[in-house]
């Protein structure tokens, strides 16, 4: 079973940028979002607030990870690859903190959708796919870093956050906000657009659409604002605004 999961992990790693959004889109099209939860507007409002909080928690975790120690997750030629074994920053707290952040983001988006079946299938499927990717990465890392990686695995959990390690892991490091903006702005943008699009979808299919028009206009305006902010950050990035100065040896 694990051998099959490793093979699937290499596939998911290579095509995740196309495959993951397609899965979300397919689930949302097949099962429209819930317009009311347990027949209660208050319960629905609490569910929406909880979903957004989970998404923001995932983005916050990613911010801390990238701000202290960034590793290139794109691999090499879309294959699992790592030049160095990164164990500092949040990687001293959890071996896969970026993936934990991603799972929180996806969980929040599925929760925002609100249909119990979509939540169960979506969260379960993404958890399985990330576990496959992690198995594939672990094979590569053990083959290339040997005992150093095995010792790292003994000290740091795969998925849990061992927060007591945090202070020691960032000792001597400084938080790099420019790197966070440069490396993670597209993820933040995608998460915000997903929240807004899900809300628009949910209210567009609700009854009494006439009473929802003003809210839909607000959501559309926010989507346009996020899009413009993303384009602005991309423009500044292309012109070197977030480029890190080279350190001389």
Q: Give the burial class of 57: count Cβ atoms within 10 A of its Cβ; 0-12 exposed, 13-18 middle, 19 or more buried.
A: middle
pLDDT computed for residue 211 by the predictor: 63
| Model confidence at 248: pLDDT above 60 | no
pLDDT computed for residue 87 by the predictor: 92
- Its pTM stands at 0.92
**3.30.420.10, 3.40.50.2000, 1.20.120.1630, 1.10.10.10: CATH of 2-173:** 1.20.120.1630
pLDDT tens string 171-180: 999 999 999 9
Reported as a pLDDT band with limits 50, 70 and 90, residue 99 is very high
| Model confidence at 23: pLDDT above 70 | yes
pLDDT computed for residue 100 by the predictor: 98
Reported as a pLDDT band with limits 50, 70 and 90, residue 241 is confident
């Amino acid at each position: 079973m694990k051998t099959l999961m490793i093979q699937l992990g290499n596939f998911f790693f290579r095509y995740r940028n196309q495959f993951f959004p397609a899965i979300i889109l397919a689930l949302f099209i097949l099962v429209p979002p819930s317009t009311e939860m347990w027949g209660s507007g208050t319960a629905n409002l609490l569910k929406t607030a909880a979903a957004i909080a989970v998404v923001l928690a995932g983005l916050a975790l990613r911010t801390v990870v990238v701000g202290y120690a960034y590793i290139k997750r794109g691999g090499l030629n879309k294959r699992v690859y790592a030049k160095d074994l990164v164990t500092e920053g949040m990687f001293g707290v959890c071996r896969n903190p970026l993936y934990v952040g991603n799972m929180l983001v996806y969980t929040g988006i599925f929760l925002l959708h609100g249909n119990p079946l979509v939540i169960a299938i979506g969260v379960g499927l993404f958890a399985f796919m990330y576990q496959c990717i992690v198995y594939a990465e672990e094979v590569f890392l053990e083959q290339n870093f040997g005992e150093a990686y095995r010792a790292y695995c003994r000290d740091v959990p795969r998925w849990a956050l061992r927060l007591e390690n945090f202070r020691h892991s960032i000792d001597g490091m400084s938080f790099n906000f420019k790197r966070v903006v440069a490396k993670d702005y597209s993820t933040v943008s995608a998460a915000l657009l997903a929240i807004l699009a899900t809300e628009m979808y949910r209210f567009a299919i609700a009854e009494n659409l006439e009473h929802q028009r003003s809210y839909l206009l607000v959501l559309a305006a926010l989507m346009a604002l996020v899009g413009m902010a993303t384009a602005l950050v991309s423009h500044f990035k292309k012109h070197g605004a977030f480029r890190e100065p080279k350190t001389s040896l």
